[in-house]
């Protein structure tokens, strides 16, 4: 790197960004990597104010992965029956609610037995993530008990060997999803023939399962902290995305019901005109109490009214 000219003009970084064409997400990732390199390099003789920091990404976020719905989960499980690797992946992914980067290394070593219960425990590979330990779902336990698995990993290729990387597992997962009919047909340029061809693209992913678990937890009344623990988030803001809209709608309903209950109670409870409170008839150097002051206790009529109201 030292022999290269790192002081590139703005036009050079724009050319790099635009070379990705329609793959704007990849272009954004490339810009992030370049900015990180120049941020590191400013302490090692590279330009301290590189033009790369002024180049904006042209990527427009479409909301990321789409959460699975029950009907789609049923489609997948109907296509991939008991004993298949695809079905094992599905239940393992749903149980972990984890990232694809952790899946290919999860195996028997990650099962812990405590007080007669089985738990899945692992440390996510993503930097800053917290360790996770969740109970083993009955569906996953049933799948694992009905078949054999590798000593190191639960998920393997057809030959029985572990997946070489999370990327190879991700490719296989997309293939399983397409086989289940969760896909769409798009036109893409074949890099070998340089011709446009129609190909099937998976419309769901493992991250979509992760989102589905988070939304299910939020619908069930789970707090932001519970979502953080379940998804190994280190930042509360990331978990708030799942809970904010659902909790807001839930609070609106509960607030309406609270008002209605209060109105009903107001109509049924006697009016409390004389509460027996302290009255002030004269403001001077001393406070003079009214002679109508009532003692505290069962002899106080106000006390009896409150008993009836309760």
Q: Which two tokens stand for residue 260?
A: 């209605």
Contact 97, 210 (CB under 8 A): yes
Residue the block writes with tokens 């397409």: 178
Report d(CA 224, CA 14) in Å as an integer. 40
Tokens of 173: 């997962």
Residue 287 β-bridge partners: 283
Enter the tokens of residue 43.
């302490």
Cα angle: 224, vertex 235, 93; to 5 degrees: 70
Q: How far apart are CA 266 and CA 132, in angstroms?
A: 48
Cβ(211)–Cβ(65) below 8 Å: yes
Per-residue tens of pLDDT for the chain, all 310 residues: 456 678 889 999 999 999 998 888 899 999 999 999 999 988 888 888 899 999 998 888 766 789 999 999 999 999 999 999 999 999 999 999 989 999 999 999 999 999 889 999 999 998 888 889 999 999 999 999 988 899 999 999 999 999 999 999 999 999 999 999 999 999 888 888 888 999 999 999 999 999 898 888 888 888 888 888 888 777 777 777 777 766 666 656 666 667 777 777 766 555 555 444 444 444 444 344 344 444 444 444 444 444 444 4
Q: How far apart are CA 195 and CA 199, in angstroms?
A: 12
Alpha-carbon gap, residue 136 to 94, rounded angstroms:
10
- Residues 38 and 48: beta-carbon distance below 8 Å: no
Whole-number Cα distances in Å, 204 to 40, 106, 125, 172, 248: 36, 22, 22, 13, 27
Instruction: Let me know: does 95 contact 132? Beta carbons within 8 Å.
Output: no
d(CA 141, CA 109): 15
In the prediction, which pLDDT does 249 show? 61
| pTM, to two decimals | 0.65
CB 55 within 8 Å of CB 13: yes
Here the tokens at position 88 are: 């094992």
Query: Are 97 and 158 within 8 A, CB to CB?
Result: no
């Amino acid at each position: 790197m030292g022999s290269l000219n790192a002081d590139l003009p703005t036009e050079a970084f724009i050319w790099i960004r635009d070379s990705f064409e329609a793959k704007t997400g990849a272009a954004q990732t490339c810009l992030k990597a370049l900015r990180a390199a120049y941020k590191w390099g400013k302490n090692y003789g590279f330009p301290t104010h590189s033009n790369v920091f002024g180049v904006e990404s042209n990527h427009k976020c479409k909301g990321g992965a789409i959460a699975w719905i029950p009907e789609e989960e049923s489609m997948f499980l109907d296509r991939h029956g008991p004993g298949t690797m695809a079905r094992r992946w599905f239940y393992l992914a749903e149980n972990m609610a984890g990232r694809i980067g952790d899946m290919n290394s999860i195996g028997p070593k990650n099962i812990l037995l405590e007080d007669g219960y089985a738990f899945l425990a692992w440390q996510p590979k993503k930097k800053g993530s917290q360790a996770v330990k969740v109970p083993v779902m009955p569906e996953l336990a049933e799948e694992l008990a009905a078949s054999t698995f590798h000593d190191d990993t639960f998920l393997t290729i057809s030959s029985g060997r572990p997946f070489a990387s999370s990327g190879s597992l991700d490719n296989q997962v997309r293939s399983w999803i397409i086989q289940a009919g969760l896909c769409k047909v798009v036109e893409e340029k074949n890099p070998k023939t340089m011709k446009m061809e129609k190909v099937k693209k998976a419309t769901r992913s493992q991250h979509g399962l992760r989102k589905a678990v988070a939304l299910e937890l939020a619908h069930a009344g789970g707090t932001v902290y519970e979502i953080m623990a379940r998804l190994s988030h280190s930042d509360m803001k990331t978990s708030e995305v799942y809970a904010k809209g659902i909790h807001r709608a839930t609070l609106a309903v509960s607030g309406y019901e609270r008002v209605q209950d209060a109105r009903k109670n107001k109509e049924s409870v006697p009016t409390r005109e004389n509460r027996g409170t302290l009255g002030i008839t004269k403001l001077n150097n001393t406070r003079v109490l009214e002679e109508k002051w009532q003692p505290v206790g069962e002899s106080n009529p106000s006390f009896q009214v409150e008993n009836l109201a309760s």
